[in-house]
Amino acid sequence: MSVKVIDSKTAAELVPDNATVALDGCLSTDVAEEILEKMKARYQETGHPKALDVWYGCGIGDNNGSAVENFAEKGMLRRVVGGLWSLAPKLAPMVAANEFEAFNFPQGTISQLFRDAAAHRPVLVTHTGLGTFVDPENDGGRLNEAAKNSTLVNRIKIHGKDYLAYETPKPDVAIFRGTYADENGNITFDDEPLTMDVTAVAMAAHNNGGKVIVQVKKVVKAGSLDPKAARVPGVLVDYVVPTDNPEMTKQTTDYIYNPDIIKSNIVKDAQQLDLPLDKKKVIARRAAFIFNPETDHCVNFGIGQYPMYCAMVMKEEGLSDNIVTTVEAGTFGGTSLGGGSFGTAIAPQATIDEPYMFDFYNGGGLDATYLGLAEADEKGNLNVSKFGPKIAGTGGFVDITQYTSKIVFTGTFTAGGLKEEIKDGKLHIIQEGKVKKFVKHVQQITFSGKVAYDSKQEVWYVTERAVFRLVKDRLELVEIAPGIDLQKDVLDQMDFKPIISKNLKEMDARIFEEPVMNIKNDK
């Protein structure tokens, strides 16, 4: 069997109007950018392909016009179902203008939907999304009025318990990028740090009568690839698009599988990190007290500066020696990266396909997770997915928080111009933030306090000046920072009054001191 080798312009012409298009990727990993750009150029020239129904799980793109933003043309889209929207800001005004139906589903759910679509299962039944904005009793994942007449998720009962049933897509086209294709169409991902949903996406399109188009760096002789490295078998692949454009074959990180090549500003020995004592370090240190090295062996650190800083501080404090970190994109172990390389890790111990990582999470495989704190309300609900017209999207947040027994949300108490300093073992507020993050009602429920409490999860909300924990129907204030006035600096900066613990105390003084406090010796 020989696969058809074509150029990217021809590939773009193969996508018909009204097609359901399944994309794979994480930021720039696995994204067939050259093909997507040619689709955009074709649409601008001919008006085709139009009315596309585009599905993707992890956020793809770079906030600068790539990946799914190639579809930000009036009339090109009929619907978009995405896990993370923040990397496609050009789509936000189109969503607000109701130019197409817009849905935000959990990243892991979309990943597993591709796998179920390959098996022709009509729905994916899961606990994921209950009590959040994805729940049909709330918004059903809809982001605009254009989507109000479409129902892609329903609430059902099985043995008296509530679940959500998500409709599986039927892709007409799957588009992604690999590294090498042999003459039979077998695809390897040697230069990609992640394999994400490639097998599921390809199989979903193939088994539903669609076409699979793969951009690669090079086509090689049949039989020359290691069969165990071929993550997509040739029988699933219809077209291969080799490209010599270095910008289109550039990988997210070129050092990811070489433990000897490590960026010194990302990974250092614990004694060499020497992180400055500021509000970020205070938050991370306090969060580290919640970590239990005797029971918390497998840990997830989410996207955002504060969760990633927790990982760095725990390394500095000597807490991370015996834990395995994970990232939802598929990595176990190593040092997780942030920014434009989020989803990857330096020198991981193992890398698996994304649907299986979410199987691991859904089954309670994580012992603890550290995530961002953008907006919280009096019932313990969190919003990290939508702020006014800005659509961030849930990413893997819902998948992770609904199954992990210990959850630590981290972030500053207020936002917008907040200035603070650590001096003489105390926290000093120089300028208060303009935006309150503890509000009466969150704009969108990405995390349900009620569902978490009913599930007996341990939930903490850690800021630089106050620490809360989730109790029945409310937040309880349990600690404040030394130097902080309870009324002026905490309660007056909230839109609701939390329960105040009868045992309210100051945070451990070592959090605000140098040198390294060595929490490890306390456990």
Residue numbers annotated as active site: 328
- Please answer whether residues 124 and 166 qualify as being in contact, where contact means their C-beta atoms are separated by less than 8 angstroms: yes
Q: What is the C-alpha to C-alpha distance for residues 246 and 227, in angstroms, rounded to an integer?
A: 26
Query: What are 292-295's contacts with CB under 8 Å, separation 24+?
Result: 292/523, 293/319, 293/322, 293/323, 293/520, 293/523, 294/523, 295/367
Which helix (H) or strand (E) segment holds residue 507: the answer is none
Q: What is the C-alpha to C-alpha distance for residues 307 and 373, in angstroms, rounded to an integer?
A: 9
Strand partners, 387: 390
Report how far apart the first and last C-alpha atoms of the chain are (Å, whole number).
61
What does the CA dihedral 245, 248, 249, 251 come to, rounded to 10 degrees? Answer: 150
What would the DSSP string read from start to end of 149-213?
T---EEEEEETTEEEEEEEPP--SEEEEE-SEEETT--EE-TT-S--TTHHHHHHHHHHTT-EEE
Q: What is the C-alpha to C-alpha distance for residues 192 and 7, in angstroms, rounded to an integer?
A: 21
Closest CA to 164 of 174, 173, 154, 172: 154
Closest CA to 399 of 88, 148, 124: 124
The count of C-alpha atoms lying within 13 angstroms of the C-alpha of 459, restricted to the half-sphere facing its C-beta, is 30
Q: What is the C-alpha to C-alpha distance for residues 351 and 331, in angstroms, rounded to an integer?
A: 4
